[in-house]
């Protein structure tokens, strides 16, 4: 079994921290529903500011559309209001299930509104058994992913589901950094 990403909120900003609340992370139900994150589900949180990594569970609280992201309990010590974080859920799957999995990713603006709706897709290509691409839902012109400068994409013809297929290719410099 492989542990893989199932859903992700990328570049969400912390809107509050409550050390005296029982541990968890409070998120906007609209963000969670769209990404596929359930209440009480465990998530991993990665701070882009401090490098802190933690695990906690999700609670929904307040009005949908509030754009809240509040770290509670011990997690409140890891980030400050305004910090940019990544929240990811995971699943355990068999290797062959990678072809049917399509994790949803929301990229957020500094005000926590949704900037992009993406999904990840694994497929078999002519050059390798497991290849990777990013699907952008609600097509916009992209030649370079804004969150990952070393990762480039080749634009393909629009899909029937009104999305643009962006094929993932690591540049030679990105490959050398990984080795």
Catalytic residue annotation? 24, 57
**In the structure encoding, which two tokens stand for residue 62, read together?**
């307040």
C-alpha to C-alpha distance for 37 and 29, rounded to whole angstroms = 9
- The residues pairing with 167 across neighbouring beta strands, listed in sequence order, are 133, 154
C-alpha to C-alpha distance for 7 and 32, rounded to whole angstroms = 9
Strand arrangement of the beta sheet that strand 114-123 belongs to: 16-18, 69-72, 24-27, 53-60, 42-47, 84-93, 2-13, 104-108, 114-123, 131-137, 163-170, 151-155
> CA neighbours within 13 Å on the CB side: how many for 160?
0
> CA neighbours within 13 Å on the CB side: how many for 38?
6
Helix or strand run (H / E) with residue 178: helix 172-178
């Amino acid at each position: 079994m492989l542990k893989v990403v199932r859903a992700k909120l990328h570049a969400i900003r912390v809107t509050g921290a409550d050390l005296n609340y029982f541990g968890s992370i409070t998120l906007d139900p609209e963000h969670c529903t769209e990404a596929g994150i359930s209440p009480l589900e465990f998530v991993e949180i990665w701070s882009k500011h401090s490098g802190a990594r933690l695990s906690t569970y999700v609670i929904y609280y307040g009005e949908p559309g509030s754009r809240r992201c509040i770290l509670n309990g011990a997690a409140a010590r890891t980030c400050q209001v305004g910090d940019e974080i990544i929240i990811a859920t995971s699943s355990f799957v068999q290797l062959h299930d990678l072809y049917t999995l399509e994790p949803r990713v929301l990229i957020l603006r500094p005000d926590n509104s949704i900037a992009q709706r993406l999904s990840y897709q694994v497929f078999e290509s002519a050059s390798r058994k497991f290849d990777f691409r990013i699907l952008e839902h609600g097509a916009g012109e992209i030649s370079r992913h804004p969150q990952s400068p070393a990762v480039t994409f080749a634009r393909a013809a629009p899909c029937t589901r009104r999305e643009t297929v962006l094929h993932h290719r690591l540049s030679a410099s990105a490959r050398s950094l990984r080795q």
